[in-house]
């Protein structure tokens, strides 16, 4: 952790987790673990103590079938059918029917990385030992991860309460040999994919279907990857500010630690330290140290305040998501040590929904202020640079339309950042009369993050062009390393060319963390 609580990003953290593997125990899973499994293919195993907890809970469920007391989802139907008693002889059919009937999703398929995160988080939730599923079920989820069996899961259909029922049902169909899955690049029926991977399908027992789909793992899976991505973007945003400040011959006086100390928000202080660090040793800055301009526009001067507020919001989202991924979120929960089973509401996605809406707003602001900096660079009335960053204006348009694109993405983010959690619509015959829309919030945050990456790519592209015009003066070591990383992929714009590939290349540098690694190699770890 950084001073003030901001988590230090370690560019090697995910790589290390991927190499070592991830052992799930229901309590210690982190976002880097999720990234390592979802994107890095890290092997997954089950902790021995967790296996014992799972076995105790499963054994207790067996006793519930022999009791006269009704138990939701074990000896009763679901939702509005909670008052319909189900015979113990029908318990297996009840659980299978649950998966079949609830697989009602629509829309584009979730990416494999998200599906992998879902499988991991559901296995970890079961490892808490309060769900009542057998260890065999958890082993199957782990085997699917390790063998690369990825269910096809429609992205739409969850209201974020009673869990992510529809997308989780599609995910878990493959566990019982139904549904469809991708295996080694081929789309196959679930049973065939499992057979090719050498994974036996599961014949569900009491409570197991409910334990597989009653939870918040879809919104949390999407959210965990979004938190990771936005955390990287927050650091890249500081790099972009440093480059732009150099290109516009701005001052670093507003980043003085004394300014931050009298308003001690941790994210603000971290961002300001980054900016001073990135611009240390700047010949450009020294060249205009005694100029008459006393302060810069807000988009430069207030960057620590805006980026810092975003950082603090990201940290809040991280805490919520990591807490959620190590929680038992289905219903009912079984407590074998107490000899009790309790119907509750841990499946309600409100905590994650609020965190994802907050994350989306924070990420949107990183893009909003970035676009304003881009505008300052392309506008000759504000920049002191060639109009639209081209030396041959008129015949050439330079970076003119790149700013249009940034503006369009920022406007799109304004729409996407409208909170989802404030909406609710009753379901299941009004039994489920308040829902979170948490999965919609998470999906929006993920799309916002993708838009932000493009907006920052445009700013970095423009800043690199602006720095070129100030040669032979060089920026500070961090900004210089970023400039060199960009120029290794994208040449200076002498005459008009198609800019979309340039933006895409820089976006790959950002999202793949190569830009961050290049900067940290030059100046040490950023905050």
Q: Which of 72, 183, 316, 404 is catalytic?
A: 72
Residue 376 has pLDDT above 80, yes or no: yes
Let me know whether 162 and 310 are in one domain.
no
Let me know whether 230 and 120 are in one domain.
no
Let me know whether 185 and 238 are in one domain.
no
Active site residue 72: yes
The candidate with the shortest Cα–Cα distance to 71, out of 82, 81, 79, is 82
Let me know whether 22 and 72 are in one domain.
yes
Let me know whether 132 and 156 are in one domain.
yes
Residue at which a domain ends, from 193, 215, 237: 215
Domain that holds residue 63: 3-215
Over the stretch 150-194, which tens digit does the pLDDT of each residue have?
999 999 999 988 889 999 999 999 999 999 999 999 999 999 999
Over the stretch 242-290, which tens digit does the pLDDT of each residue have?
999 999 999 999 999 999 999 999 999 999 999 999 999 999 988 877 7
Let me know whether 11 and 64 are in one domain.
yes
Let me know whether 278 and 341 are in one domain.
yes
Structure tokens at 292: 């008459």
Let me know whether 121 and 257 are in one domain.
no
Per-residue model confidence (pLDDT) at position 288: 79
Residue at which a domain ends, from 170, 191, 215: 215
Separation between Cα atoms, residue 97 and residue 99, nearest integer Å: 5
Q: What percentage of the chain has pLDDT greater than the value 70? A: 95
Let me know whether 148 and 234 are in one domain.
no
Number of domains the chain is built from:
2
Q: What is the pTM of this model?
A: 0.94
Let me know whether 87 and 127 are in one domain.
yes
What burial class does residue 196 get, using C-beta atoms within 10 Å of its C-beta: 0-12 exposed, 13-18 middle, 19+ buried? middle
Residue at which a domain ends, from 215, 237, 263: 215
Let me know whether 156 and 239 are in one domain.
no
**CATH code of the domain containing 210:** 1.10.275.10
Residue 346 has pLDDT above 50, yes or no: yes
Let me know whether 18 and 163 are in one domain.
yes
Per-residue model confidence (pLDDT) at position 229: 98
Instruction: Give 509-513's long-range contacts (Cβ < 8 A, gap of 24+).
Output: 509/485, 510/232, 510/233, 510/236, 510/453, 510/456, 510/457, 510/460, 511/229, 511/232, 511/453, 513/11, 513/232
């Amino acid at each position: 952790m950084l001073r003030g609580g901001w988590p230090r990003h370690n560019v090697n953290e995910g790589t290390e987790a991927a190499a070592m593997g991830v052992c799930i125990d229901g309590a210690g899973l982190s976002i880097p673990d999720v990234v390592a499994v979802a994107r890095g293919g890290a092997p997954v195993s089950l902790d021995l103590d967790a296996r014992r907890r799972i076995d105790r809970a499963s054994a207790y469920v067996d006793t519930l079938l022999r009791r006269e007391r009704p138990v939701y989802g074990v000896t009763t139907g679901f939702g509005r059918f909670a008052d319909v008693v189900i015979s113990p002889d029908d318990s297996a059919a009840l659980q299978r029917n649950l998966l079949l009937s609830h697989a009602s999703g629509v829309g584009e398929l979730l990416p494999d990385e998200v599906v992998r995160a879902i499988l991991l988080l559901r296995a970890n939730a079961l490892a808490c030992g309060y769900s009542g599923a057998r260890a065999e079920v958890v082993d199957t989820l782990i085997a699917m991860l390790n063998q690369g069996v990825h269910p096809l899961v429609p992205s739409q259909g969850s209201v974020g309460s009673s869990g992510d029922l529809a997308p989780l049902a599609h995910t878990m169909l493959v566990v019982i040999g139904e549904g469809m899955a991708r295996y080694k690049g081929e789309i196959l029926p679930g049973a065939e994919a499992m057979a090719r991977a050498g994974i036996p399908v599961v014949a569900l027992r009491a409570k197991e279907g409910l334990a597989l789909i009653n939870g918040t793992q879809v919104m949390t899976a999407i959210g965990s990857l979004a938190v990771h991505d936005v955390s990287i973007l927050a650091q890249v945003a500081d790099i972009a500010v440093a480059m732009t400040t150099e290109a516009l011959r701005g001052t670093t006086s507003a980043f003085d630690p004394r300014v931050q100390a009298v308003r001690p928000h941790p994210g603000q202080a971290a961002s300001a330290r980054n900016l001073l660090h990135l611009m240390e040793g700047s010949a450009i800055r020294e060249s205009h140290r005694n100029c008459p301009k006393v302060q810069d526009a807000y988009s430069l001067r207030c960057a620590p305040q805006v980026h810092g507020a975003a950082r603090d919001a990201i940290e809040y989202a991280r805490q919520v998501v990591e807490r959620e991924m190590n929680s038992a979120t289905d219903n009912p929960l079984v407590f074998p040590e107490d000899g009790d089973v309790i119907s509750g509401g841990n499946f309600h996605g409100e905590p994650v929904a609020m965190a994802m809406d907050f994350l989306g707003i924070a990420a949107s602001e990183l893009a909003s202020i970035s676009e304003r900096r881009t505008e300052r660079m392309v506008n000759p009335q504000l920049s002191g640079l060639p109009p639209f960053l081209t030396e041959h204006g008129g015949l050439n348009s330079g970076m003119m339309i790149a700013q249009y694109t940034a503006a369009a993405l920022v406007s799109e983010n304004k729409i996407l950042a409208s909170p989802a959690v404030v909406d609710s619509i009753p379901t299941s015959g009004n039994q489920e009369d308040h829902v979170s829309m948490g999965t919609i919030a998470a999906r929006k945050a993920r799309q916002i993050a993708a838009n932000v990456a493009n907006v920052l790519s445009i700013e970095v592209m423009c800043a690199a062009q602006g720095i070129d015009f100030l040669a032979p003066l060089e920026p500070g070591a961090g900004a210089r390393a970023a400039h060199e990383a960009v120029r290794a992929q994208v040449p200076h714009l002498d005459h008009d060319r198609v800019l979309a590939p340039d933006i895409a290349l820089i976006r790959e540098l950002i999202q793949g963390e190569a830009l961050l690694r290049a900067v940290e190699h030059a100046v040490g770890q950023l905050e």
